[in-house]
Amino acid sequence: QSALTQPASVSGSPGQSITISCTGPSSDFSEYSYVSWYQHHPGKAPKLLIYEVSNRPSGVSNRFSGSISGNTASLTISGLQADDEADYYCSSYTSRGTCVFGTGTQVTVV
Amino acid sequence: EVQLVQSGAEVKLPGTTVKISCEVSGNTFRDSYIHWVKQAPGKGLEWMALIDPGDGERIFAERFQGRVTLTAVTSTGTAYMQLSGLTSDDTAVYYCATPIVDGQSSLPAHWGQGTLVTVSS
């Protein structure tokens, strides 16, 4: 299955807001309620930020928020901080019921 | 708290097989999928397969079908991923992951620490 499409990189200044998009064919968002977002620092395990499009797990900052419109899901990081510098991935289901990840976005805090 | 602890790093010769373990605690092992995810050096996350420990159902990404064997031992809460016919392209960090406990989604949520597999002659 093809990966979901994300921008390769997004940058922002401390305190700013940035948005990362995640786009796939309609068939890859067949279950529109099931999009997750992860933060991945090199050498560490990925961390779940958002599940079911817009829900935050306990302990995740409310600076992270998720939404969806059509076949594009989005992750917004507000009040950008130095520690937000990491790789970010979306995931969803395919029409076969398998999981698919986005291509990944490197976030740089400049 | 859900925790996943994976086995340690492996160095393997080309053509051989590697088996990675993933011990899960803090959830109902039989009621939760176990996903396996690959990250090759400099590459993104790639979903490989999942197993349902409750009924043994397995689903594979097409490109791993036939080379990946998944097992789950409910008595110990441990899942295993075996990858055969290793090549240098299999050099990667492999993660296991389980879905969130208090939600409807079955996508990965809780992750193991990762197991580095290096394939080299």
Q: Do A15 and A69 form a contact (C-beta atoms < 8 A)?
A: no
Residue B114, CA distances (Å) to A42, A78, B37, B38, B51 in order: 11, 29, 9, 9, 18
In whole angstroms, give the CA distance from residue B121 to residue B115.
19
Mean of per-residue pLDDT scores for chain A: 92
pLDDT at residue A26, rounded to an integer: 67
Sign of CA dihedral B33, B51, A97, A9: positive
- Whether B109 and A98 lie within 8 Å, measured CB to CB: no
A74-93 pLDDT, tens digit each = 999 999 999 999 999 999 98
Contacts of A5 in chain B (CB under 8 A): none
Specify the higher pLDDT residue, A28 or B52. B52
Residue A1 has pLDDT above 80, yes or no: no
pLDDT at residue B44, rounded to an integer: 97
* Rounded mean pLDDT, B107-116: 97
* Rounded mean pLDDT, A56-84: 95
Q: What is the CA A6 to chain-centroid distance, rounded?
A: 9
Q: How many percent of chain B have pLDDT more than 90?
A: 88
- Whether A101 and B59 lie within 8 Å, measured CB to CB: no
pLDDT at residue A30, rounded to an integer: 53
Min Cα distance A9 → chain B (Å) is 13
Min Cα distance A59 → chain B (Å) is 12
* Rounded mean pLDDT, B32-49: 96
Q: Which residue of B has its CA nearest to A92?
A: B107
Retrieve residue A15's tokens. Answer: 């305190």
Contacts of B108 in chain A (CB under 8 A): 36, 38, 46, 48, 91, 99
pLDDT at residue A84, rounded to an integer: 98
